[in-house]
Structure 1
Amino acid sequence: MTEAIATPHLTLNDGTSIPQLGLGVFLVEPDEAERIVTDALEIGYRHIDTARIYKNEEGVGRAIAASAVPREEIFVTTKLWNSDQGRDTARAALEKSLERLGLDHVDLYLIHWPSPKHGKHVESWEALIELRDAGLATSIGVSNFMQTHLDDLAAATDVVPAVNQVELHPAFQQRDLRAFHAERGILTEAWGPLGQGKYELAELPGLTEIAARHEKTVQQVAIRWHLQEGIIVFPKTTRSERMIENATVFDFELSDDEMATIAACDRELRVGAHPLNTDF
């Protein structure tokens, strides 16, 4: 086992520390999750992001149980799925996730989508506050929430989400939403930080030149950009060599000019589902 990757930690608004770089397991097959998370922990990752709907919590849990890394050193996130939302159903959903993970608590529990179809994001948030207070989740937050959804929570409770996990990558930088987060004390997490392969990072103006200057890949440059922007990021990969590459981003720094070049790449190009247009 290697030591933990020397990733920075950020402080959530509840005082909890979260590793800024982690591993996401979206679209990881259930029978592959154990191997992939085992590899990640061996490489030195200490932050794993999963969800009930990914159907791989069991594999994640087996890897954690078999690892020599102490549980308190591993930051685990999972999420409340849309059909499980509601004051009377959220606790059972989290308890089932904990059973699958083999854990007595998660470090972060998120409402996965605001899900207009169900219309229960406010009562679900109230339920998450109770779950946090019961010790089943250390921190609580949301995912894919827009400003209007965050305003709904603020109108109902005085508990501010620790994070909002949203689609975010160089071609979709969500600057207005991130500024709103900063005003509220909400940290931004990025899913799909490399664009999910739905466009070529190398085609964005200046990225190839920046990568060549630092003798890095464009993917490493994109991850480094997230880190310097203060965003929590967990790129997904099933290959251990790519996990190592994604974590080799602490030996260089992007200049102000290079950061400005990447800022200019924003196309407002959403490649995933829009939170207001989901029917799931």
Structure 2
Amino acid sequence: MIGVGKTRSLELHRKVGLRLRARREALGLKRSEVARHCGYTNLSKGARRIAHREQGQIGPLLHEDRYYELLQLDPHQVRAELHDVAALQTRIDALGHDCLAAERALLRTNAELLLAHAETIAADSRWRGVRSPVALLRILWMGGGPVPLGALVQAWQAGALVASSEAFGPIYLFEGSGSALSGAGSCWGVDRTGTARRVSGSPVRFFPRGASGPWRERSAPSAWSLADAVAALGGRAACSHFHLLDAHARPIGDPIARYNPVSGRLALPH
């Protein structure tokens, strides 16, 4: 799985590292032996470098060509593969940012629809348990995380997590972080026109004191994505599959990644 937002950039490199480890073990070599062959006088330090490389952290090695020579590998081939992996990782990261932007747009443009169907969402676990990576509240000292759609819409309906603005009217908050003690922080929300608005202050400032906030909700996750929930209510939802495109913007082959809204990540096909 490739993370969205805060990505785990070693994921693709880890597969290369595992193959390097398998190669070393197939040759019956210990990490300390490889480190000695690479010219390390401090074998513990060298062995740690080898271990990091086998975990996917492909950092520099002392006399790296000796490393590939000992493992009977073509250094040019391995480096070319690592270059391709890095290029694909960059592409996946870009897709992750695009995916989050699309998810925010989906929530913004359908906030009124969700409010209009608040009772339906609360009554049915398919809607109630929907998690979206952009419906996320983090409170210092209190924790937090993804907010289930049911808890979020119920809070809006009750007038909580709603900021008032003379210029824009009510702003329905769905993403933010801050302190429970000082109230400092910032939030993102959407106004009646579907426009994103940034609001100063921790999410706790927009919820009744002493009440259990929606960030504490632990309902069972739904298999539905936000796009599924919106589509079932009659709204427009975006595609969650991502392809490499040719010069005419046509998909090439199978999707290179699929977005999983429950985990908030892009998954590479196996």
Shorter-chain TM-score tier: under 0.3
TM-score normalised by structure 2 residue count? 0.25
